[in-house]
Structure 1
Amino acid sequence: MKVIDLTHTISENMPVYPGTEKPKLEVASTYEKDGFKETLLIMFSHTGTHMDSPSHLFSQRTTLDSFNAEQFVGKGIVVDCSNLKEGQKITMKYIEAVKEKADIAQYILFYTGWDKYWGTDAYFGNYPYITEEVAEYLIKSKKKGVGIDVIGIDPIKDENLTIHKKLFAETDIVVIENLTSLDKVGNDIFTFCALPIKFKDSDGAPVRAIAILED
């Protein structure tokens, strides 16, 4: 068994969505004074590699803490979209190229290679994003979730969050954003785990996302 970490590390100088405050990691207890170390974490719920729930956009929809834990584990497939250039769309042709595996998978993860810009201003530029047709496929095929290695599944300029709304309006699906290292997973079905912090009425939460590959 091989485990691949798909998660960015949370730090005070990490990239955050434009307009959001960066996280704070304050030393609350020290070895010298208290005999142990403890850290006070202050951050927004959509910091770093994180998961969105339907309640992120709709007040009466499902929160992360109300999902069964089974929701956060499933068969995954990485769809290679790394040939796309700035602002280009992830269309159904990428799904069609791996259709048999995509239909089996419960999580579809799109590899754009955009994580190479993590820590630079370019990360918040015109990254590739999924189309409404792809969103419709995710809904109709009843996927547990969709993930991507950019800041969002909608283009940065779409303040209406069209794709998010299409997915979350009536479907209990989760969205994982800011993934990394998807290029290390390969193109076979694997076990995907993305476990969010469990807090009350959670609209979203940081996750530790991993890929488990069988030998």
Structure 2
Amino acid sequence: MKIIDLTHTISPGMPVYPGTEPPRLEEASTYEKDGFRETLLTMYSHTGTHMDAPAHIFPELTTLDQFSGAQFVGKGLVIDCTDLGEGGRIGMEYLHKAGAPVEEAEFLLFRTGWDAKWGQPEYFGDYPCITEEVAAYLTDSGKKGIGLDTIGLDPVADTDLKLHHQVLATDRFVIIENLTHLEQLGEGLFLFCALPLKYRDADGAPVRAMGILWD
């Protein structure tokens, strides 16, 4: 068994969505003073590698803490879109190219290679995004969620968040953003786990995302 960590490390000064404050990690207790170490974490719920709940967009829909744990674990498949450049759109042809495993997968993770820009201003640029047709397929086919190696499902300039509205309106779907290391997962199915921090009325939460491969 091989476990691939798909998660960016939370740290001060890390990339955050434009307009969001970066996280703060403050020393709260020390070995010298208290005999143990403890850190005060202050951050937004959509910091780093994180998950969006339906309640992120729709106040009457499900929060992450209301989902069962089964929502966050399932068969994953990486869709290779690395041939796309800035402003590219990921259409159904990419799913067709991936073949039969697309139907069996519960999470589709779109690899654009954009995570290579993590920590650079370009990360907030015109990254590739899925089309509305792909979004409709994801929800109509009963997938549990979508994963991305970019900062958002929608283009960063789309303040209306049209794709977020489209997929989260089903109330049985989650979005995982800011994934990394998708290139290590190969072309076949694997077990995908993205476990969010469980807090009350969670509109979103950081996750520790993992891909599990069997020999």
Scaled to the shorter chain, the TM-score interval is over 0.9
Match of 2:114 in 1: 114
* Structure 2 residue 133 is the aligned partner of structure 1 residue 133: yes
TM superposition shift of 1:13: 1.2
Q: Percent identity?
A: 60
Uncovered stretches (5+) of structure 1, i.e. residues with no partner:
none
Amino acid at match of 1:34: D
Residues 108 and 147 of structure 1 are in contact (CA less than 8 Å); yes or no, is this contact kept in structure 2?
Answer: yes
> Secondary structure, in 3 states, of the residue corresponding to 2:22?
coil
TM superposition shift of 1:170: 2.4
2-structure distance, mates of 1:168, 1:115: 24
- CA deviations on 1:129-164 (whole Å, 9 max, x unpaired) are 011000000011100010000001111111000000
> Secondary structure, in 3 states, of the residue corresponding to 1:195?
strand
2-structure distance, mates of 1:149, 1:92: 18
2-structure distance, mates of 1:19, 1:158: 14
Runs of 4+ in 1 over 3 A off after TM superposition: none
Match of 2:14 in 1: 14
> Secondary structure, in 3 states, of the residue corresponding to 1:139?
helix
Residues 62 and 171 of structure 2 are in contact (CA less than 8 Å); yes or no, is this contact kept in structure 1?
Answer: no
1-structure distance, mates of 2:150, 2:82: 12
Match of 1:61 in 2: 61
2-structure distance, mates of 1:13, 1:21: 9
* Structure 2 residue 51 is the aligned partner of structure 1 residue 51: yes
Match of 2:32 in 1: 32
1-structure distance, mates of 2:166, 2:75: 23
Match of 1:23 in 2: 23
- CA deviations on 1:169-188 (whole Å, 9 max, x unpaired) are 12310000000000111011
- CA deviations on 1:60-113 (whole Å, 9 max, x unpaired) are 001000000011000000000000000110111001111310100000000000
Match of 2:154 in 1: 154
> Secondary structure, in 3 states, of the residue corresponding to 1:135?
helix
2-structure distance, mates of 1:75, 1:170: 20
Match of 2:97 in 1: 97
2-structure distance, mates of 1:37, 1:208: 22
> Secondary structure, in 3 states, of the residue corresponding to 1:193?
strand
- Give me the TM-score of the superposition, normalised by structure 1: 0.99
* Structure 2 residue 201 is the aligned partner of structure 1 residue 201: yes
1-structure distance, mates of 2:115, 2:166: 25
Residues 149 and 180 of structure 1 are in contact (CA less than 8 Å); yes or no, is this contact kept in structure 2?
Answer: yes
2-structure distance, mates of 1:9, 1:206: 10
Match of 1:42 in 2: 42
Amino acid at match of 2:120: T
2-structure distance, mates of 1:148, 1:126: 14
1-structure distance, mates of 2:136, 2:118: 29
Amino acid at match of 2:169: A
1-structure distance, mates of 2:185, 2:87: 24
Report the aligned-residue RMSD.
0.5
- Give me the TM-score of the superposition, normalised by structure 2: 0.99
Residues 63 and 202 of structure 1 are in contact (CA less than 8 Å); yes or no, is this contact kept in structure 2?
Answer: yes
Amino acid at match of 2:201: D
* Structure 2 residue 162 is the aligned partner of structure 1 residue 144: no
Uncovered stretches (5+) of structure 2, i.e. residues with no partner:
none
Match of 2:82 in 1: 82
